[in-house]
Amino acid sequence: MNGLKKDPDWWRGAVIYQIYPRSYQDSNGDGVGDLLGIVRRLPHVASLGADAIWISPFFTSPMKDFGYDVADYCDVDPLFGSLADFDQVIATAHLLGMKVMIDLVLSHTSDQHPWFKESRASRDNDKADWYVWSDPKPDGTPPNNWLSIFGGPAWQWDARREQYYLHNFLVSQPDLNFHSPAVQQELLGVAKFWLERGVDGFRLDTINFYMHDKELRDNPALPAAERNDQTAPKVNPYNHQRHIYDKNHPQNVEFLRKLRTLMNGYNAAAVGEVGDSQRGLEILGEYTSGADKMQMSYAFEFLSGHEPLSARYFKEVFDKVSAVAADGWACWAYSNHDVVRHISRWDLSAASARLYATLMMCLRGSVCLYQGEELGLPEADITFEDLQDPYGREFWPEFKGRDGCRTPMVWEKDAVYGGFSSAKPWLPVSSAQLNLAVDVAEHDPTALLHHYRRAIAFRRNHNALRDGVMTEVMAEGSLLSFRRINQNEEILCFFNLSDQPVNATVPAGDWVTIAGELGSIRPSPDHTLHLGPWQPSILLLNKG
């Protein structure tokens, strides 16, 4: 039994390790990772010190979007195993002291889901309003200007009903109608099914897409100066709209309250993915404030951009959090299954990779790590011929899709396919990653893997870092500094986010240098810090 089971706040400040099951470990030799493969490798995750795992979708699916198109919410796709295999994941993780969170995709289903098959059959069946249907305009065109994140209009004509249905993602991913009470009740039942099975929480995919504007009003244009690529690639016209009617509906919060009430009975927690490049932090504040909505929101601020994060940018982000989400709780990540791995995205050196890992563990909020991040894996180079991702095929070559971050985990340098499988994997194993395999890292004391273990242990050992407030965030050139404070501890953090030395002055107080194992340095006798390139100094106030 998980030792944290009785603590309803186990999620606060937790380190959550994301597993993309297709690519973690294959146990049956079919070239695709599976649940029993996860069971085999859970000791590795536990050795990092992670509090929980998040498993990307493993439900029954035609795999048009690799599991994010669900055809049965309450069963395991045979590709990944069985419900009994999932029970082994739960039991093993709990035995190792880790929580299990699963990825619930509630905003849409596969077009192969029985609900959609019934809904599209006629306009008057029991599930006729379970999806978002609309008559065409008089000229036969779609009801409004909404766009799909995967390219093109967000509406698809259906000849059976002679109506359009909404799909914010692939054509094969019709959106559920959350304005239907029956839909909400059914989805709460899905959550209860997995809670009863022993899961400790959920990562909620596209949480702000649940509800749409009933009047189907057009989205206004977004001025070019305000566009960015946090939600969709730069080349995607989705970025040309201000998305105020196709998502972020105010009534969405009411469903989240119902879900929170259900989860409270199981001490479960959820992290909601907010996909919005214009109001992401504001929605984070709306969805996680108080004690009646979601516990955490997955923040995108550190998941985009092609330059290493600067001190100024960190300050801007946390100033914005203080302004619009002071009572909320973020879950920070540098990498995940949808973006270029941050080692490549920011072209990090070994020293800068270590510093960013240390910095992450000192931030207010919870943390998500993506499989292989602890090894310093770079983005894999995927040819068009090997590409599986429909998103990449749509926008190739300007956007090469998400497969480069989804290649199989490398466990053993000299084993066939890096120890991932005995058969040809669904995506090629990156030769550039093999020298960073787990077995190599384990025997190299300078490997990033050991630094992640030390940084996570450091966070775990200081409650001010897990749940304390974060104050006095300052940026002076490349120097970022802030304080983390709770009722028992006060910690002062300095980070030199550059390859040039920088000096800083430590304020008055009896400060003790901590985190020496992470490269933290002591101030000189005159209270000056001489920080070398990519060097931290972390100090604890001695309160006597």
- The conformation of residue 108, written as its DSSP 8-state character, comes to B
Domain contains 159:
no
Are 95 and 198 in a shared domain?
A: yes
Residue type, 478: S
Here the CATH number for the domain that contains residue 527 is 2.60.40.1180
What SS3 state is found at 32?
Answer: coil
Calculate the dihedral angle through the C-alpha atoms of 332, 338, 342, 346, rounding to the nearest 10 degrees: -110
Are 276 and 318 in a shared domain?
A: yes
Q: Cβ distance 358 to 493 under 8 Å? A: no
Site of tokens 């030799």: 29
Are 433 and 472 in a shared domain?
A: no
Here the CATH number for the domain that contains residue 278 is 3.20.20.80
Number of other CB atoms surrounding residue 396 within 10 Å: 13
List the domain range (segments joined by +) for residue 477: 468-541
Q: From CA 287, how far away is CA 120, in angstroms rounded?
A: 32
Separation in Å, CA 495 to CA 45, 67, 314, 426: 27, 39, 11, 40
Q: From CA 139, how far away is CA 191, in angstroms rounded?
A: 42
pTM of the model as a whole: 0.96
Are 511 and 379 in a shared domain?
A: no
Q: From CA 16, how far away is CA 115, in angstroms rounded?
A: 32
Instruction: Report the b/e string of 33-57 with b at 16+ CB within 10 A.
Output: bbbbbbbbbbebbbebbbbbbbbbb
Are 451 and 492 in a shared domain?
A: no
List 175, 200, 273, 374, catalytic entry: 273
Q: Cβ distance 68 to 173 under 8 Å? A: yes
Structure tokens at 292: 């009646």
Residue 273 a catalytic site member: yes
Domain contains 86:
yes
Number of other CB atoms surrounding residue 407 within 10 Å: 27
Are 427 and 506 in a shared domain?
A: no
Start-to-end C-alpha separation, the chain: 38
Q: What is the pLDDT, as a whole number, of residue 107?
A: 98
Domain contains 290:
yes
Structure tokens at 266: 């199981």
Half-sphere exposure of 39 (CA within 13 A, CB side): 17
Q: What is the pLDDT, as a whole number, of residue 275?
A: 84
Domain contains 157:
no
**Boundary of a domain, candidates 459, 487, 511:** 459
Structure tokens at 171: 């054509």
pLDDT per residue of the chain (544 residues) written in tens, 0 to 9: 334 457 899 999 999 999 999 999 999 999 999 999 999 999 999 999 999 999 999 999 999 999 999 999 999 999 999 999 999 999 999 999 999 999 999 999 999 999 999 999 999 999 999 999 999 999 999 999 999 998 899 999 999 999 999 999 999 999 999 999 999 999 999 999 999 999 999 999 999 999 999 999 999 999 988 887 666 767 889 999 999 999 999 999 999 999 999 999 999 999 999 988 789 999 999 999 999 999 999 989 999 887 889 999 999 999 999 999 999 999 999 999 999 999 999 999 999 999 999 999 999 999 999 999 999 999 999 999 988 888 778 888 777 889 999 999 999 999 999 999 999 999 999 999 999 999 999 999 999 999 999 999 999 999 999 999 999 999 999 999 999 999 999 999 999 999 999 999 999 999 999 999 999 999 999 999 999 999 999 999 998 6
Q: From CA 216, how far away is CA 237, in angstroms rounded?
A: 19
What SS3 state is found at 140?
Answer: coil
Stretch (H or E) spanning 281? helix 280-288
Half-sphere exposure of 535 (CA within 13 A, CB side): 17
Are 432 and 511 in a shared domain?
A: no
Domain contains 168:
no
Q: What is the pLDDT, as a whole number, of residue 386?
A: 87
- The conformation of residue 431, written as its DSSP 8-state character, comes to G
Q: What is the pLDDT, as a whole number, of residue 225?
A: 85
Are 79 and 199 in a shared domain?
A: yes
Distance of CA 49 to the CA centre of its chain: 18
Helices 448-460, 35-48: axis angle to 10 degrees equals 70
Instruction: Report the b/e string of 296-314 with b at 16+ CB within 10 A.
Output: bbbbbbbbebeebbbbebb
Query: DSSP 3-state helix, strand, coil percentages of the chain (rounded to 5)?
Result: 30, 20, 50
DSSP line for 166-210? E-SS-TT-PBB-TTSHHHHHHHHHHHHHHHHHT--EEEETTGGGS
Are 395 and 455 in a shared domain?
A: yes
Sign of CA dihedral 267, 268, 269, 272: negative
Are 453 and 530 in a shared domain?
A: no
Are 315 and 235 in a shared domain?
A: yes
Q: For the chain, how many structural domains are there in total? A: 2
Stretch (H or E) spanning 268? none
**Boundary of a domain, candidates 398, 427, 459:** 459
Q: Cβ distance 99 to 52 under 8 Å? A: yes
Domain contains 124:
no
Residues 6+ apart with CB under 8 A from 227: 239, 240, 277
Distance of CA 15 to the CA centre of its chain: 12
Are 281 and 330 in a shared domain?
A: yes
Locate all alpha helices (DSSP H) within 3-135, ordered by sequence.
Answer: 35-48, 83-95, 114-119
Q: From CA 189, how far away is CA 196, in angstroms rounded?
A: 10
Q: What is the pLDDT, as a whole number, of residue 306?
A: 79
Domain contains 323:
yes
Structure tokens at 487: 């009722």
List 34, 69, 77, 205, catalytic entry: 205
**Boundary of a domain, candidates 395, 430, 459:** 459
Domain contains 266:
yes
Residue 126 a catalytic site member: no
Q: What is the pLDDT, as a whole number, of residue 200?
A: 98
